[in-house]
Amino acid sequence: MSAAPLFPAHVPTVLVVDDVEANRELLDARLHDLGYDVRQARDGIEALEAFEDAEPDLVLLDVDMPRLDGITVCRRIKAHPLRRLVPVVLLTAHQDRDTRLRGLAAGADDFLSKPFDPAELRVRTEVLLRDRELNKQLDAAEGIVMALARVVEARDRYTVHHAERVGLYAREIGRVHGVLTADLDVLYKGGVMHDLGKAVIPADILLKRGALSDVERALMECHPTEALRIIEPLRSMARFAPIIRHHHERVDGTGYPDHLPGDEIPLAARIVGIADGWDAMTSDRPYRSALEMDEALHRLRAGSGSQWDAQLVDTFIALLDGGLAQRVQGEQLHVTERMLA
């Protein structure tokens, strides 16, 4: 008996963008013979509209087109936080160095020269579609961990939106501090995931109204290393590991789990540590009500240089003076609405 697949095979979708119909039809026929689902767009405007209908797995994009040229379209695709992982191949009859450099600067993944070589077309599409499938799997793994982190927060009505706010605060601290734009997403997602390890902490400890015993505190302080056990099998999660492991370190070296001092604490963990500390102080907890903002600011300043990085504390206080807490509350509501939609 032959083996039967559990699910229907995924047919990759290729978007062909060219203002010359003959070129589109030639590529359509070639790609159809290779087993792909082919869609067409006549120019850059139609290409971007096609993304709104359904995201393709690969884009073959002519450089010279009316209304919106291919390099501009490529730049817009690669600037989008979700679409940037869709591979883009620029199609061009130009062999000049300037065109290729502009294409690479726009984020193009590859080039195909006109007229097309059928063998080259087959190999390049196969390679890029294989990379696309891998990236989709990595994205799915990251999405599952993010969902798990939010489930962990939902165990406690006091902290149900805590992780989301920590991520939003951390991203803003990083932005003002000069963190690369590409890394701001790591700060946000790392902030959301920072307490992932609390999934293994018993609820009676997490929700205890009184002070923790020494044994209970030791268990609670295991949550950063427990989180690493969860994410270690996923290579795509490695960039979040420093945040998850070290967000409870203190610059005076008395934090946990590794007692790292000062700049030995990764920058991302120092940023998330401040965001986490602030939101903990200004939120209701089982053992106390939220602190008033003046008292929380007093404690934040008192911990500057001992618990938290002094320069980052100054950055954060300036952001609070500019209304950051109110903006985060508003953005958190939008995130929650998107999650429930």
155-340 classified as CATH 1.10.3210.10: yes
Give percent above pLDDT 70 in the chain.
87
Whether the per-residue pLDDT at 340 is higher than 50: the answer is no
Whether the per-residue pLDDT at 229 is higher than 70: the answer is yes
Minimal CA–CA distance to 268: which of 170, 162, 146, 150?
Answer: 170
Quote the pLDDT of residue 95. Answer: 73
Confidence of residue 156 (pLDDT cuts 50, 70, 90): low
For the question of whether the overall pTM of this predicted structure is more than 0.85, the answer is: no
pLDDT in tens, 92-148: 877 778 888 888 899 998 898 888 888 888 888 888 888 887 776 666 666 767 767
Whether the per-residue pLDDT at 214 is higher than 70: the answer is yes
pLDDT in tens, 57-75: 999 999 989 889 999 999 9
Q: Distance between CA atoms of 154 and 340, rounded to whole angstroms?
A: 14
| Structural domain boundaries in the chain | 13-133, 155-340
Q: Give CATH superfamily name and number for 13-133.
A: Response regulator (3.40.50.2300)
Quote the pLDDT of residue 238. Answer: 84
Which backbone phi and psi does 114 adopt, to 5 degrees?
Answer: -90, 140
Contact at 8 Å (CB) between 162 and 194?
no
Q: Distance between CA atoms of 106 and 95, rounded to whole angstroms?
A: 17
Whether the per-residue pLDDT at 199 is higher than 70: the answer is yes
Peptide bond into 257 cis (omega under 30): yes
Average pLDDT over every residue of 310-325: 96
Q: Distance between CA atoms of 72 and 25, rounded to whole angstroms?
A: 23
Cα three-residue angle 173-177-183, rounded to 5 degrees? 75
